[in-house]
Amino acid sequence: MAEDRTLGDTGSTGNRGVGGSDAAAPHPHEMAETVARVRELVRTHSKRFERAIPLIASENLLSPYAKELLISDFHSRYAEGLPGERYYEGNEQVDQVETLCLDLARRLFRCSFADVRPISGTVANLAVLKAFADPGDLVGTSRLADGAHISSASFGAFGLRGVKPIYYAWDAERMTIDVPRTREILRAVRPKLCLFGLSLFLFPLPIDELRGTLEEIGARGWYDGAHVLGLIAGGEFQDPLREGCSVISASTHKTLPGPQHGILLAEGLEAEATKRLQSGAFPGVTSNHHLNEMAALTVSLAEHLEFGRDYARQIVANARALGAALHERGFDVLAADLGFTRSHTIAVRVEQEGGGEAVAQRLAAAGIISNKNLLPGDKSPRHPGGIRLGTPEVTRVGMREAEMRRIAELFDDLLHRGRSPEEVAAEAATLKSGFTSLNYCFAAGEAAYRYYDLVGRDPA
Ligand SMILES: Cc1ncc(COP(=O)(O)O)c(C=O)c1O
């Protein structure tokens, strides 16, 4: 905090008036100090996460080889277009890497089309909307309160493309789409495109069951696999391209432990639809596609082909174990009758413990990182009744079912037995101290939370 004040003071009393101007000009050392301060904050953040139990369902850790490529010269370059058809010179190696990346993506997802130019999951969603919907079209999706991502909200990507969401009926007991009622909605409204995919994604969605209805009304099935991409690739979740969806959009950094980026995958697209999807990605919603991330993604796809099955299996086993252990300790974990989850995520209704926001904050003070989450039936989006917990990161650092039971004990101590956040944080750090290196990748055993100091000194 003392450091906070120092910087704040420097900023407010800085070297004004230099050169006769009243404009704020930097103190000779101010910017160098700022650089040092940023480095220090990021180091502190890394150390904090090294001691914490990170349970955010959408986060993961990058492997050493993938991380290395993020700071390679690829970061400095442009390569608009596709391999072999670029708008810039100097892309020979970039083309070879991207060709490998596309080959690996098609192999991992057993499909005939991949495009790695969207720079995030949201951008991939926009590319699909640009390709397959026009402003004013109706597009089927789930409600935010039922777990959908903000992409399908009118204030998100749907609104940006000007399409109108048509909501599926939801079965809150089973945490999935209600098939008979959704069939009726689809037949009555006949959307052009139907999006399946969630941010609170506990169970596979019944696309196969709805496939006949999609065909009957002539709607294209589209899957947002941002959360479950690594599970699909690892054979642990549904296989949307064989169940009635012709296109998948996704992020590449959640259960697939790659760099923050996006991807498009497709099967059975006609030539004209393929062209529309490619042009949706570029020039539709990207210019350059962050070549350093693309190279890192190539490594992550190769690693997932090698290690992804074991990793995905353990992620799901851990999520189910965490759900069961919390349930045994009196927490209201959703879908208890169904084994809590078939994915990396569980949802816990925490109204008894103080509500989603208060509980997530108290957990964070105890070194357990989660997020508040809207649950079906919540009245106010500002006061979610739940928290969402995910196991990708704790699994990546080697935790298994026994550690999930220990984490549930820490929840119980903090939220039911009145132990202080400080005491629980100390125990969380002790638990975590045995799990700080990377697994399910090449160079396994490297430090997971290492800060890579390239220069060895601060600029001042
Ligand atoms: C279902 C779903 N789609 C898309 C996204 C957006 O991904 P990104 O953050 O890569 O833009 C998310 C993010 O969590 C998500 O949960």
Least confident piece of the model among 356-365, 378-387, 437-446:
378-387
- Kindly tell me the sign of the dihedral angle through the C-alpha atoms of 319, 257, 281, 105: negative
Which two tokens mark 341? 């989850």
| Band (4; pLDDT cuts 50, 70, 90) | very low
What residue type is assigned to position 144 of the chain? L
- Kindly tell me the sign of the dihedral angle through the C-alpha atoms of 161, 167, 171, 177: negative
Residue owning the nearest CA to atom 16 of ligand 1: 199
Average pLDDT over residues 68-79: 98
| Band (23; pLDDT cuts 50, 70, 90) | low
The answer to whether residue 13 scores a pLDDT higher than 60 is no
What residue type is assigned to position 246 of the chain? S
Average pLDDT over residues 432-447: 98
Residue 379: predicted pLDDT? 82
Average pLDDT over residues 63-68: 98
Residue 26: predicted pLDDT? 65
Pocket test for ligand 1, best of 129, 150, 199 (most atoms within 8 A of CB): 199
Residue 5: predicted pLDDT? 29
Average pLDDT over residues 49-58: 98
Domains of the chain in start order, with CATH, are 64-301 (3.40.640.10), 307-432 (3.90.1150.10)
**What's the half-sphere exposure (Cβ side, CA atoms, 13 Å) at 169?**
12
The answer to whether residue 49 scores a pLDDT higher than 90 is yes
| Residue 152 in contact with ligand 1 by CB distance below 6 A | no
Q: Are 130 and 161 in contact (CB under 8 A)?
A: yes
Which two tokens mark 190? 């006949």
Which two tokens mark 392? 């990708």
Three-state DSSP state, 371: strand
- Cα separations in angstroms, 13 against 21, 28, 267, 370: 15, 13, 61, 39
% of residues, the chain, pLDDT over 90:
92
| 379 burial via Cβ count (<10 Å: 0-12, 13-18, 19+) | exposed
Angle at the Cα of 447 (from 298 to 61), degrees rounded to 5? 45
Least confident piece of the model among 49-58, 175-184, 302-311, 377-386:
377-386
Distance CA 198, CA 153 (A): 12
From the list 225, 390, 387, the residue with the least C-alpha distance to 320 is: 390
Residue 11: predicted pLDDT? 34
| Residue 345 in contact with ligand 1 by CB distance below 6 A | no
| Residue 199 in contact with ligand 1 by CB distance below 6 A | yes
| Residue 370 in contact with ligand 1 by CB distance below 6 A | no
Distance CA 103, CA 97 (A): 10
- Cα separations in angstroms, 302 against 76, 415, 425: 24, 41, 36
Ligand 1 centroid–CA 422 distance in Å is: 33
Q: Are 121 and 171 in contact (CB under 8 A)?
A: no
Least confident piece of the model among 27-36, 42-51, 76-85, 408-417:
27-36
What are the phi and psi torsion angles at 225 (to 5°)? Answer: -100, 25
Residue 22: predicted pLDDT? 52
Distance CA 102, CA 99 (A): 5
Residue owning the nearest CA to atom 5 of ligand 1: 121
Ligand 1 centroid–CA 197 distance in Å is: 10
Q: What is the atom index within ligand 1 of the atom nearest the CA of 125?
A: 4
Distance CA 394, CA 428 (A): 12
| Residue 151 in contact with ligand 1 by CB distance below 6 A | yes
The answer to whether residue 111 scores a pLDDT higher than 80 is yes
Pocket test for ligand 1, best of 200, 251, 344 (most atoms within 8 A of CB): 251
Distance CA 425, CA 76 (A): 41
| Residue 122 in contact with ligand 1 by CB distance below 6 A | yes
The answer to whether residue 15 scores a pLDDT higher than 60 is no
| Residue 141 in contact with ligand 1 by CB distance below 6 A | no
Q: Are 255 and 228 in contact (CB under 8 A)?
A: yes
Residue 43: predicted pLDDT? 98
From the list 217, 227, 234, the residue with the least C-alpha distance to 248 is: 227
Model confidence pLDDT, tens digit, residues 222-258 = 999 999 999 999 999 999 999 999 999 999 999 999 9
| Band (430; pLDDT cuts 50, 70, 90) | very high
Three-state DSSP state, 164: strand
Which two tokens mark 292? 């350093």
Concatenating the DSSP letter of every residue in 98-150 gives HHHHHHHHHHHTT-SEEE---SSHHHHHHHHHHHH--TT-EEEE--GGGT--G
Q: What is the atom index within ligand 1 of the atom nearest the CA of 199?
A: 16
Average pLDDT over residues 440-450: 98
74-77, long-range: CB < 8 A, 24+ apart? 74/291, 74/292, 74/294, 74/295, 75/290, 75/291, 75/292, 77/291
Ligand 1 centroid–CA 299 distance in Å is: 21
Distance CA 433, CA 219 (A): 51
Ligand 1 centroid–CA 72 distance in Å is: 26
Residue 19: predicted pLDDT? 41
Q: How far apart are the first and last CA of the chain?
A: 21
Token pair 């059975």: residue? 268
| Band (24; pLDDT cuts 50, 70, 90) | low
Average pLDDT over residues 360-388: 94
Concatenating the DSSP letter of every residue in 36-62 gives HHHHHHHHHHHHHHHHSEE--TT----
- Mean pLDDT, all residues of the chain: 94
| 293 burial via Cβ count (<10 Å: 0-12, 13-18, 19+) | buried
The answer to whether residue 302 scores a pLDDT higher than 80 is yes
Which two tokens mark 253? 């950094």
The answer to whether residue 134 scores a pLDDT higher than 70 is yes
- Report which DSSP code applies to 342: S
Ligand 1 centroid–CA 148 distance in Å is: 10
